[in-house]
Structure 1
Amino acid sequence: MNITSLTIDAVRRGGLPAIRHRRNFWSGCFFFLTGGGFSVLAGQYPMGTASRMGAGFFPLCLGILLAAFGLLVILFSLSARRMAAPAPPWRAGKVLWVLGAATVFALLLEPAGLVISVSLLVLIASRASSQFTLRGALANTAVLVMLNVTLFIWGLDQLIPVWPAFISH
Structure 2
Amino acid sequence: MPSFIRGPKDFWSGVIFVIFGLAAVIIGRDYSMGTAGRMGPAYFPTILGGLLTLIGLIGVVRSMVRTGSPIGRFAIREILLVLFSVVVFGLLVRGAGLALSVVLVVVISGIASTKFKLGPYVLLGVGMSVFCVLLFVKALGLPMPMFGPWLGF
| Shared fold, TM over 0.5 | yes
Give matches, 1:53-64, under 5 Å: 53-64=39-50
- Alpha-carbon RMSD: 3.1
Give matches, 1:3-82, under 5 Å: 16-19=4-7, 22=9, 25-76=11-62, 78=63, 80=65
Q: How many angstroms apart in 2 are the aligned matches of 1:66 and 1:155? A: 32
Change (3 A) 1:146 1:130: same
Change (3 A) 1:120 1:88: same
Ranges of 4+ aligned residues in structure 1 off by more than 6 Å = none
Other-structure match for 1:9: none
Give matches, 1:13-162, under 5 Å: 16-19=4-7, 22=9, 25-76=11-62, 78=63, 80=65, 85-154=69-138, 156-162=140-146
Unpaired segments ≥5 residues, structure 2: none
Q: CA deviation at 1:74?
A: 4.8
Secondary structure of the residue aligned to 1:119 is helix
Q: TM-score normalised to the size of structure 2?
A: 0.72
Q: How many angstroms apart in 2 are the aligned matches of 1:103 and 1:136? A: 22
Other-structure match for 1:10: none
Q: How many angstroms apart in 2 are the aligned matches of 1:69 and 1:147? A: 32
Question: For the Cα contact (< 8 Å) 2:6–2:68, is it kept in 1?
Answer: yes
Q: How many angstroms apart in 2 are the aligned matches of 1:89 and 1:158? A: 41
Which residue identity lines up with residue 29 of structure 2 in the other structure?
A: G
Question: For the Cα contact (< 8 Å) 2:33–2:39, is it kept in 1?
Answer: yes
Q: TM-score normalised to the size of structure 1?
A: 0.66
Describe the superposition over 1:89-145 as per-residue Cα deviations: whole angstroms up to 9, x where unpaired: 234222221121121122222222222222211111111111223344234424533
